[in-house]
């Protein structure tokens, strides 16, 4: 988020939100807690449900642990419904295959060239 510090949102969560284009409280209000959580997940980050609860708490101006069990259940159900309609893409490999290539002093061709020059 921007200069405005939201309740429950730490530096890592704020960085995730900025990276998905949510930079102010107004941005968060417009998309809602579940919408913001989905954007963060779709961007490839791996937040826990605590982020979802924290976002809702930020909107309600309460600590995320103060959310009732029915509120938490409703948030998770809303999230699951959105994902069911448009599933998250499976994450690809963290990196491509690793290929190892060794260059030994004997195999680089330099010594054989120097030896052949001495023979002339």
Q: What does the block give as tokens for 70? A: 């029915």
Domain contains 51: yes
Q: What is the CATH number of the domain that holds 25?
A: 1.10.150.20
* Contact of 14 with 1, CB cutoff 8 Å: yes
In the chain the beta strands, taken as DSSP E runs, fall at none
Q: How many Å apart are CA 59 and CA 95, to the nearest integer?
A: 37
The pLDDT value given to residue 116: 47
The pLDDT value given to residue 65: 95
| pLDDT per 10-residue tile (average), the chain, 120 residues | 73 94 94 96 94 96 96 96 83 60 63 49
Q: What is the domain extent for residue 30?
A: 9-83
Domain contains 49: yes
**Stated pTM of the model:** 0.71
Long-range Cβ contacts of 42-51 (<8 Å, 24+ apart): 42/88, 42/89, 43/16, 43/19, 44/91, 45/16, 45/19, 47/13, 47/16, 49/76, 51/13, 51/16
Domain contains 102: no
Structural domain total, the chain: 1
Domain contains 108: no
Domain contains 65: yes
């Amino acid at each position: 988020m921007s200069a405005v510090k939201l309740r429950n949102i730490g530096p890592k969560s704020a960085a995730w939100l900025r990276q998905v284009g949510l930079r102010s409280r107004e941005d968060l209000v417009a998309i809602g807690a579940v919408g913001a959580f989905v954007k963060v997940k779709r961007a490839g980050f791996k937040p826990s449900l605590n982020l979802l609860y924290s976002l809702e708490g930020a909107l309600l101006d309460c600590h995320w642990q103060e959310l009732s069990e029915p509120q938490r259940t409703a948030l998770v159900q809303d999230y699951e419904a959105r994902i069911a309609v448009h599933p998250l893409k499976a994450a690809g490999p963290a990196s491509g295959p690793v290929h190892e290539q060794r260059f030994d002093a004997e195999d680089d061709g330099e010594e054989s060239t120097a030896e052949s020059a001495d023979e002339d």
